Amino acid sequence: MVTFTDGLVWTLITIGQILLVLLPVLISLAFLIWMDRKVWAGVQMRKGPNIVGPFGLLQTFADFGKFLLKEFTIPSSADKAVFVIAPLVSTMLALGAWAVIPFAPGWVVADVNVGILYLFAVSSLGVYGIIMGGWASNSKYPFLGALRSAAQMVSYEVSLGFVIITVILLAGSTNLSEIVMKQDGGFWNWNFLGGGLKNLPLALVMAPMSMIFFISFLAETNRPPFDLPEAESELVAGYQVEYSSTGFLLFMLAEYSSIVLMCGLISILFFGGWHPPFPMEWASSWPSWVLNLFYVFVFAVKIVIGFFMVAMVKAIVPRYRYDQLMRLGWKVFLPLSLVAVAVVAIWVVYTGGAA
């Protein structure tokens, strides 16, 4: 029989697990934003943030403080309730997606069997925060930016979905922890090489799929060179142009949280998640908590490498036109991912690749 005390203990433990995930994620976002700015500055041969704190490391915290202290203004013609709720919806959904991300064996808030489906549901709902923010502002620029963003996110969710299906076929599971466990034993077992030496010919399919996933999540998160909803020459800052202070901060927090989440997801799906590139039999004698901390470190390094690639793309690739963006998604990525699903399915059926 479950008592009130048992329920209270479970609630407190769950809240503690959530905080153990959210606090490091939020703190790391500050330093990743600093890294994003420094990479962009380095490519352009300038210094970037270098005054506030050592090497400018506290610049992002100063910016956060500035946003919190500024006045939160609401346009007189805006739908005030929806205007306030929109950034909250975007941020809650972006942070809520971290619930199913495994950082090490057993180190996950909700180890559900349909983790990938949960991420699909949350990412699909994320577009509502953007649409609400653009519509509630009652201005043509935010509204057009929200329409662009919604069309862009929906378009690239299709190719993302088919790419993820190839991974599900290889792993035989939609549980993210199981997908990572199937890639144990060295980088040759990672999914971008087909998920094992017996599946090595599939590397010709899975390696391009990992690249399509990377490019698609750039478009999914409105990241350059696909930041058409925020094109300065056309839509100013897009759907968030009427927001200031905390509202703008929450939208930015949601965007960067989604980017880092996608960097972690591509690591989980294609690059072994928390597994290092080489087997670690010599570490089998370590205490489990020490080994798990090492796994978390490996996973964090992979996320940082992925974010560095995102920052480099922002710095060196020119912005696409909107027609080019849609052509790439519907006429290139969609057919390629469909063919990849068919090829991987045939391979799994005739070779037992998911066994």
What tens digit of pLDDT does each residue of 173-202 get? 889 999 999 888 888 889 988 888 888 888
Residue 236's SS3 state is: coil
Domain range summary for the chain, segments of one domain joined by +? 26-69, 70-351
Q: What values do phi and psi take at 104, rounded to 5?
A: -165, 170
Distance CA 186, CA 213 (A): 22
pLDDT of residue 354: 53
330, 155 in Cβ contact below 8 A? yes
- Burial annotation 219-250 (CB, 10 A radius, 16+ → b, else e): bbbbbbbbbbbbbeeebebbbbbbbeebbbbb
3-state secondary structure 40-106: HHHHCCCCCCCCCCHHHCCHHHHHHHHHHHCCCCCCCCCCHHHHHHHHHHHHHHHHHHHHHCCCECC
Give the burial class of 355: count Cβ atoms within 10 A of its Cβ; 0-12 exposed, 13-18 middle, 19 or more buried.
Answer: exposed
Kindly state the tokens that stand for 241.
Answer: 């142009």
What distance lies between CA 326 and its chain's CA centroid?
A: 21
Q: Which pLDDT score, from 0 to 100, does residue 48 have?
A: 85
- Per the DSSP assignment, residues forming a β-bridge with 107 are 104
What are 239-290's pLDDT values in tens digits? Answer: 888 888 888 889 889 989 999 999 999 999 999 888 998 887 777 778 888 8
Low-confidence ranges of the chain (pLDDT < 50): 355
Would you call 62 exposed, middle or buried from its count of C-beta atoms within 10 A (0-12, 13-18, 19+)?
middle
Tell me how far apart the alpha carbons of residues 28 and 302 are, in angstroms, rounded to a whole number: 14
- How far apart are alpha carbons 277 and 251 in whole angstroms? 35
SS3 content of the chain, % helix, strand, coil (to 5): 75, 0, 25
Q: What is the CA radius of gyration of the chain?
A: 21
- The CA–CA distances, whole Å, from 185 to 19, 44, 190 equal 31, 40, 9
What residues contact residue 353 under an 8 Å CB cut-off, 6+ apart?
Answer: 169, 170, 195, 198, 199, 202, 344, 347
Instruction: Tell me how far CA of residue 24 lies from CA of 17, 31, 269, in angstroms.
Output: 12, 11, 22
Q: How far from each other are the two terminal CA atoms of the chain, in whole angstroms? A: 39
The token duo for 26 is 């939020």
38-55 residues labelled b (16+ CB within 10 A) or e (exposed) = bbbbeeeeeebbeeeeee
Neighbours of 260 (CB within 10 A): 23
Q: What is the pLDDT of residue 238?
A: 74
Residue pair 201/194 in contact (Cβ under 8 Å)? The answer is yes
Burial 269-285 (b: 16+ CB within 10 A, else e): bbbbbbbbeeebeeeee
Q: Report pLDDT for 355.
A: 45
Contacts for 148-153: CB closer than 8 Å, 24+ residues apart: 148/228, 148/229, 148/235, 148/238, 148/322, 149/222, 149/229, 149/238, 149/239, 151/326, 152/219, 152/220, 152/222, 152/226, 152/228, 152/229, 152/325, 153/123, 153/126, 153/127, 153/219, 153/220, 153/222
Which tokens is 8 given? 């209270």
